[in-house]
Structure 1
Amino acid sequence: MSLEHHKDARLRYQQQVDNSRDYVIPFIQQEFPDLKGLRVMEVGCGEGGVLTPFLEMGCQCVGVDLVPYRIELATSFLEPHVASGQLKLIAKNIYDVDFLGEFRNSFDIIILKDAIEHIPDQEKIIGHMKQLLSPKGQIYFGFPPWYMPHGGHQQICRNKFLSMVPYIHLLPRPLYKGVLKAFGEKQDVIIDLMEVKDTGISIERFERYVKRQGYNITQRRFYLINPIYKYKFGVSAKKQFGPIAAIPYFRDFLTTCVYYMIKPQ
């Protein structure tokens, strides 16, 4: 059962805007109460919805994505901001030498919203982004932990039953792939789900990478119910219970979303 926002770019954009305005910005404002004039970059910006409230609050923004079509969509949604020079949208890899040359030590806030779980070699990119931060800069991450009920993004399955089965992504790779085929999932969906299985990240692994790369965690929030589920499933956001959030590994299975702010030591 592919959800409606997977097929409708305008709906997906608006959901990103609302989620950013209601949850992402208040979380980031715990570290940056006054956002006006700050330089903000989003890695994996997609349609640009997450950046929209930052633009409305007077930030100078850069959105970067590897997929040119998504940059085209973002440009169409945010053309006035692009035309005014307040927003720059780039289809490029942030590892490119010219990207680093242009943006070294530039950003007060870097955003990775629902992105890190799709990126190979996550420790490498966490370390690399230090070079893009300003002296006061911090990085925001929001992602679903791998071991949570739908941490494999199986909600994108076209088969309604598979899209609702929790923890199925934790099956051994050959068995998981076999189940997807047996239920008639198309090859493109199977490829996407196998890629997420390769790159999904747990709370513990993320925090280990952050520590090894020389960052401090300045803010952390765990959700029992992911704020974005308001749009996907019609349920309200709910923070994780404190005792559960404090239990390493066990919390991964019951926490559907985590927010972090980190800064270099």
Structure 2
Amino acid sequence: MAFEFHQDKDRYFAMQRENAAEYVVPFIQQYAGIRADDHVLEVGCAEGGVLQAFLDLGCTGVGVELLPQRLELARHYLADALRDERVELMAKNVYDVVPERDFKRPFDLIVLKDVIEHIPDQEKLLRKLGSFLRPGGYIFLGFPPWQMPFGGHQQICRHRVLSKLPYYHLLPAPAYKKVLEAGGEAPHVVQELLEIKDTGLSIGQFERIARQTNFNILGKQLYLINPIYRYKFNLQPRRQMGILGNVPYLRNFVTTCAYYLIQAK
């Protein structure tokens, strides 16, 4: 199911900007605050909608994006900020970044919104991101936990049933691949979904990785209904109920979005 806004890039940019302003920014401000002169890095910035929400607050920023074609759209949408030298954009794998060479100064905040579940070796990633921060800086992460109904991102499938079928991404990889191929999904889509299966992240896994990489969890919010579902399914966001969010096995299957703010110890 290819959502309409995936094709309408103006709408997609506006959606990401609005969602970040209404949910991501207030979550961070709850625990850390955001100053007008903060320097913000977004990893996987795509078209720049999330980053724009921070530029709107007076922050300066850097966007790193793996896909050059998406960064070209970011250059269009962030043209004013680029002209005023309030933002820089680079097409690069985050693992190839050398902070002393690529960044002018350390960051107050690093943002990964629906990105960490696509990146391999997340423990290595957090250690690397920690080297980009000023002392006392923060990392925000928002991601769909792997075991939730659409944690495999199977909604990108073209097949009408496969795009709406929950939980089948939890099948063993060979069976999952056969189902996708039987549904007529393009080879590159099958490959992308299998890669997400390899890198998918549960709530418990993330919290273990944060501890192992010497980060404190300052803030945490689990959602029963992901805020972005306002746009996808016309559903109002709903936070996870306390008792449900505290049952580790159960919460993994019903939490559609997890927000975290972490800080190096």
Q: TM-score, with normalisation over the residues of structure 1?
A: 0.96
Is the 2:227–2:236 Cα contact (8 Å) retained in structure 1? yes
Q: How many residues align?
A: 265
> How far off is 1:97 after superposition?
5.5
Deviates more, 1:33-42 or 1:3-12: 3-12
Structure-1 residue corresponding to 2:262 = 262
- Equivalent residue runs for 1:1-265 within 5 Å: 1-96=1-96, 98-103=98-103, 106-265=106-265
> How far off is 1:4 after superposition?
1.2
Is the 2:109–2:140 Cα contact (8 Å) retained in structure 1? yes
Is the 1:94–1:100 Cα contact (8 Å) retained in structure 2? no
Residue deviations 1:29-87, cap 9 Å, x none? Answer: 11333421101000000000001111111001110111111111101011010010001
Is the 2:28–2:34 Cα contact (8 Å) retained in structure 1? no
Identical aligned residues as a percent: 49
Is the 2:47–2:77 Cα contact (8 Å) retained in structure 1? yes
Structure 2: distance between partners of 1:164 and 1:180:
13
Residue deviations 1:192-247, cap 9 Å, x none? Answer: 11111111100111110000000000000000000001101110100001001111
Q: TM-score, with normalisation over the residues of structure 2?
A: 0.96
Is the 1:159–1:183 Cα contact (8 Å) retained in structure 2? yes
Q: CA RMSD in A?
A: 1.3
Deviates more, 1:161-170 or 1:94-103: 94-103
Structure 1: distance between partners of 2:115 and 2:5:
17
List gaps (5 residues or longer) in structure 2.
none
Structure 2: distance between partners of 1:34 and 1:6:
30
Is the 1:104–1:131 Cα contact (8 Å) retained in structure 2? no
Structure 1: distance between partners of 2:76 and 2:207:
37
